[in-house]
Structure 1
Amino acid sequence: MAVMGEHTQARLILDYEAGRAALSEALPEVVRNPDQFGGALDLPIGALATVFRVKEVAQQRLWSQLSVIEVPDRIQEPAIEPNPEYEDAEVLQASARLITPETGQVNETVEIALDGPSHGNPFTDVELHAYFSLDGQEIRAGGFYDGNGRYVVRFLPETAGHWKFRTESTARSLNGHTGSIIVETGAARGVVRVAETFHFSYAGGGVYRPVGTTLYAWTHQSPELEKKTLETLSTSPFTKVRMCVFPKSFIFNDNDPGLYPFEREGETWDTTRFDPAFFQHFESRIRDLGKLGIEADVILFHPYDRWGFQDLGAAADDRYLRYIARRLAAIPNVWWSLANEYDFVTTKTPEDWERFAGIVAEEDHANHLLSIHNGTRIYDFSVQWATHCSLQKVDYYKTAELVEDLREKWGKPVIMDEIGYEGDLEYEWGSLSAQEIVRRVWETNLRGGYYTHGETYYHPDDELWWAKGGELLGQSAERIAFLDKLVAESPTGRLEPLSLTAPTPAGGVAGEYELHYNGYSQYRYITVGIPEGRDAVIDVIDTWAMTVETLPGTYSGRARVELPVRPYMALRVRVNKAPS
């Protein structure tokens, strides 16, 4: 038997008389009117206690009372091992038809396919992988069953040359194939990876700046809405999209998707049999993003679920992770996020998340970025597998103001992936003004971090951008584009935080290109320091009106710059080169 605690699902606690009694003091409304909380009852009770600001003393009493309530342990299904006798001994080795391209491109997906057997359950009976080798380098890529007797192995080469491959499989007809592919140099940018400790660049060269947006369930909508979303993205400033693999059930997002990841037997999912059509569709949307130059931040688990996908059991979780990692690992514009709001997923333990990270890292030969996203409790990003910090605000007032401390704490890039959403919902996270979103974006960027936008305006058809996509209604996206253009014009294409005595942030390349942001403050003038023996051109920037006024002449020494007396103003200091 197990006992309850702060990670226990609120709905489960309400099923027990002792649980209801324990909740009566800390969260009486949950006990008196449970129906009004809807899907929130699927969250861990610790999350509800934080969201509804239960006092610390009351929380500790609640955990103590819950710790003596026993609940049955979950019965875990055993893992399924591949079948070494899947094909009879008379089946010839390497007899399946092999389909392989003659050439490929550096930093682009190379795919080999085999027309093989389909009896039994190829998803669990057959293990397939290939080894790709060049000049002493060997890369292992896992294969997957794509339905209708088709098996696929994908590879993402980062080096040009004459790559050779060989296959290994528990199916005799798939085992022992050999071949070669000429990989040519191309212009593809490839995978995004961490660069210079706190930033990002493409494997093929060039600065990458995450300018994110949130589209949790956009791939689970109608073809018409998906098309409209891509059209909107094509004219947007966004270079990253946060998106869930599993469908999402939450406010303004209660429609059933057209496809599901597993086959169904009556009301039960057969987690041993994937639906290839679901994953083919998901991949197509990722490739559509790639054509627009947008990275897909793929969220592997989330708590907002009425179909049972967050509670499949350990063996099914592991099968799913290996399957999707093998399918997506060779697609360049993929990032991995183990979870959205991991601490709200009541069915997973800290050990589970560590195991999941190991599986994804093992199956991802291309070494894509990997992180995890919090609800109310920030993950320990000191873990080696986390390439960057993906964060949601945990303070009602502070978000971007914490970026510099978090960079120093973790020594990794910091992305404020949920700084709050521009919208008009009745929830504090979804009712921020465009002005406040723009302020948070400027603060984040100038403090050395990155950010993700979201929009949650009411819509008569429940087409909220943050969940389903469609069209942008707000005013922050164009102002985010304005800021990113200013960042792109810096000598490095990035900003580093600048240490100044002012409480408002400044970022850039010290002594060369500086952006000073005034935030809420409405200074009449501001004093900036120009390096000795140099002069500078100074621009006054209205971050809301998106105007840049270049002041006449040049400035030197301790320069006083007059400003309009209004908030959300910024300065740009462009220092001229020293005389040669």
Structure 2
Amino acid sequence: MEYFRKIALCVLCLITSVWQLNAQVKKVPQWERFEVALQGTSDGNPFTDVSLAAAFWQQGGDTVNVQGFYDGDGRYIIRFMPALPGMWHYVTQSNMLSLTGKQGTLECVPAVADNHGPVRVKDTHNFMYADSTVYYPLGTTAYAWTHMSQPVQEKTLLSLGKARFNKLRMCVFPKNYGLCKEEPVIYPFLVKEYSSGKPVFDFTRFNPAFFRHLEKRIDNLKHLGVEADLILFHPYDKGRWGFDSMPMEINVAYIKYLTARLASFSNVWWSLANEYDYVKAKNEADWNILIRTVAASDPYGHLCSIHGSTATYFPYWMEALTHTSIQDEAPVEDFGRASIVRGVYRKPVIFDEVCYEGNLASRWGRLSGPEMLHRIWQGLIAGTYVTHGECYQWNTGSMDTIFWAKGGEWRGESWKRIPFTRSLLDSLPQPLQLADVSRDHRTATAGDGYYLIYFGRQIQDEWLFNLPAKNASYQKVRSGTKYKVEIIDTWNMTVTEYPGTFEVGKTIDYRHYDVNLRKVRLPLLPYLMLRVTVTNE
């Protein structure tokens, strides 16, 4: 009896040990953050004196090396974003004895339903999330919103939730610009002293509080389904803080610190600069170094680009750049131009600035709402993407209504059409591209038997049913196939099914017409689009 009692006690101890071990293994959903916090020295300058990294691996799998960072008050942090379910092991490395050789295990469990992972490039010209869900960027712009007062920041998040944009262009550094002059409450670097009322920074010491606040706002965006397109540098400083003219070694250190803190955030994109060619302290060789620094410092390969002034195209063929970020309205003002840019770069094309809806005196800030939406659709039809912006100025004293600069509340009209636009894109079987590029600039295909035909500003009372014989790389139109037609009013947000079906005949000069040459009667309105799809009726 005593023997069996000892056996039972051993089994109970073994079960208890296994339970305690499992309890110590933290479960982290796929593409979420796992964090290791270590206590170390605060002596000297921990930002420059202490190196910290960790290797994460699965048994028989690849190793992911990540950099740690100093978070103030003797606290050091390592963050990791697991991409594959299963058990992960890690060990730390540091030049400080108290931080090195720390080991542990985490279990990556399947992602929660609303987390699709980081955005990647899909099939050369498009995007998808890491779980293969297609991602269509419909973004907007609020450059300095995280540097505004807390009430303005909260209003910005509420506004973004209403509009359903899924990308936001935003600056890490504050802006000193004619329409944005607010002094930030906290700075990215620690202040050594004040000279004539101006802060003098120690560029070798970061301000952890600043970056914690930025992280909070990036997480806020994630909960809204918004990708944070982070602009790392910009020219809108002009000596006020000196962030646009820091020495190269400081620029590199800043990038390494930023990526160590933020690369584990699944909704981060890197944009090296806004209007990089206006940053006079850097040349193209400098930008190449900084781009490569971002790529080398990010173990997860987040999307990365750089943005120039109007019609200034960076060499986007550079391997470390995943997509374009172009400021140029010309390609989306008329049919056919955007597809030329798409054909030049074997990468996704985003026109991140095509002027903005607003009432500013500046020519780049006074589009009407319909024109803003029209330019978005001009890009989409051509297989490219366009970023929105709004800059209405009602109060020239406070200027807090300019969403493009500061966020806050919407004042325009085009933002209201974004949920409808997203619903149309989300219903596509495949991403859009021109069906017969160079010869039909209005007809886009989204796969076998699925077309969108956009009329833009043109107003007409009828349309003769016809489709191009070519259908990009998809199945060509076949004689005898029947189609249904829906009339989409992109501005008034309506979809109306047209009565009857259309049957195509044999090709005539590379086009297929209805066998009875039937036409579609159209409302006399601009910004109409037809959705033509195969039907079994």
The two structures have a TM-score, normalised by structure 2, of 0.86
Aligned counterparts of 1:533 and 1:511: Cα–Cα separation in 2: 15
Please report how far the alpha carbon of residue 395 of structure 1 lies from its aligned counterpart in structure 2 after TM superposition.
4.2
Aligned counterparts of 1:538 and 1:399: Cα–Cα separation in 2: 25
Q: Secondary structure at the match of 1:481?
A: helix
The correspondence for 1:171, drawn from 96, 104, 107, is: 96
Q: Is 2:271–2:307's contact at 8 Å kept on the other side of the alignment?
A: yes
The letter for the 2-side match of 1:102 is K
Q: Is 1:387–1:412's contact at 8 Å kept on the other side of the alignment?
A: yes
Equivalent residue number for residue 530 of structure 2: 571
Deviations 1:195-229 (A, max 9, x none): 11111111123111111000100000111111111
Moved more, 478-487 or 124-133: 478-487
Equivalent residue number for residue 481 of structure 1: 419
- 1:383-462 alignment runs, 5 A limit: 383-393=318-328, 395=330, 398=333, 401-460=336-395, 461-462=398-399
Please report how far the alpha carbon of residue 511 of structure 1 lies from its aligned counterpart in structure 2 after TM superposition.
4.4
Equivalent residue number for residue 109 of structure 2: 184
Equivalent residue number for residue 327 of structure 1: 261
The answer to whether 1:287 aligns with 2:242 is no
The correspondence for 2:203, drawn from 247, 250, 271, is: 271
The correspondence for 1:498, drawn from 435, 438, 441, is: 435
Please report how far the alpha carbon of residue 131 of structure 1 lies from its aligned counterpart in structure 2 after TM superposition.
0.4
Q: Is 2:57–2:90's contact at 8 Å kept on the other side of the alignment?
A: yes
Q: Secondary structure at the match of 2:487?
A: strand
The letter for the 2-side match of 1:566 is L
Aligned counterparts of 1:446 and 1:499: Cα–Cα separation in 2: 12
Specify whether residues 130 and 514 from structure 1 end up closer, same or farther in structure 2 by C-alpha distance, changes over 3 A only. Answer: same
Q: Which runs of 5+ in 1 are unaligned?
A: 1-99
Please report how far the alpha carbon of residue 504 of structure 1 lies from its aligned counterpart in structure 2 after TM superposition.
4.5
Please report how far the alpha carbon of residue 102 of structure 1 lies from its aligned counterpart in structure 2 after TM superposition.
2.1
Q: Is 1:537–1:551's contact at 8 Å kept on the other side of the alignment?
A: yes
Q: Which runs of 5+ in 2 are unaligned?
A: 1-23, 194-198, 468-476, 505-512
The letter for the 2-side match of 1:420 is C
Aligned counterparts of 1:143 and 1:500: Cα–Cα separation in 2: 48
Deviations 1:273-295 (A, max 9, x none): 10000000001000000011110
Please report how far the alpha carbon of residue 400 of structure 1 lies from its aligned counterpart in structure 2 after TM superposition.
7.4
Q: Is 1:130–1:166's contact at 8 Å kept on the other side of the alignment?
A: yes
Please report how far the alpha carbon of residue 484 of structure 1 lies from its aligned counterpart in structure 2 after TM superposition.
2.2
The correspondence for 2:304, drawn from 370, 391, 412, is: 370
The correspondence for 1:550, drawn from 489, 492, 497, is: 497
Deviations 1:382-430 (A, max 9, x none): 1111100111116498477532111111111011111110000001110
Q: Is 1:198–1:414's contact at 8 Å kept on the other side of the alignment?
A: yes
Q: Secondary structure at the match of 1:389?
A: coil
Deviations 1:459-489 (A, max 9, x none): 3231210011111111111223322211211
Please report how far the alpha carbon of residue 523 of structure 1 lies from its aligned counterpart in structure 2 after TM superposition.
2.5
Please report how far the alpha carbon of residue 268 of structure 1 lies from its aligned counterpart in structure 2 after TM superposition.
2.1
CA RMSD, 1 decimal: 1.8
The correspondence for 2:446, drawn from 486, 509, 523, is: 509
Equivalent residue number for residue 42 of structure 1: none
Q: Is 2:335–2:442's contact at 8 Å kept on the other side of the alignment?
A: no
- 1:101-116 alignment runs, 5 A limit: 102-116=26-40
Q: Is 1:161–1:183's contact at 8 Å kept on the other side of the alignment?
A: yes
The letter for the 1-side match of 2:82 is P
Q: Is 1:101–1:112's contact at 8 Å kept on the other side of the alignment?
A: no
Please report how far the alpha carbon of residue 324 of structure 1 lies from its aligned counterpart in structure 2 after TM superposition.
0.3
Q: Is 2:331–2:337's contact at 8 Å kept on the other side of the alignment?
A: no
Equivalent residue number for residue 43 of structure 2: 119
The letter for the 2-side match of 1:390 is S
Specify whether residues 541 and 397 from structure 1 end up closer, same or farther in structure 2 by C-alpha distance, changes over 3 A only. Answer: closer
The letter for the 1-side match of 2:357 is E
Deviations 1:109-163 (A, max 9, x none): 1111101111111000001000001123111000000001110011111111211
The letter for the 2-side match of 1:117 is T
Q: How many residues align?
A: 478
Aligned counterparts of 2:225 and 2:68: Cα–Cα separation in 1: 27
Moved more, 518-527 or 363-372: 518-527
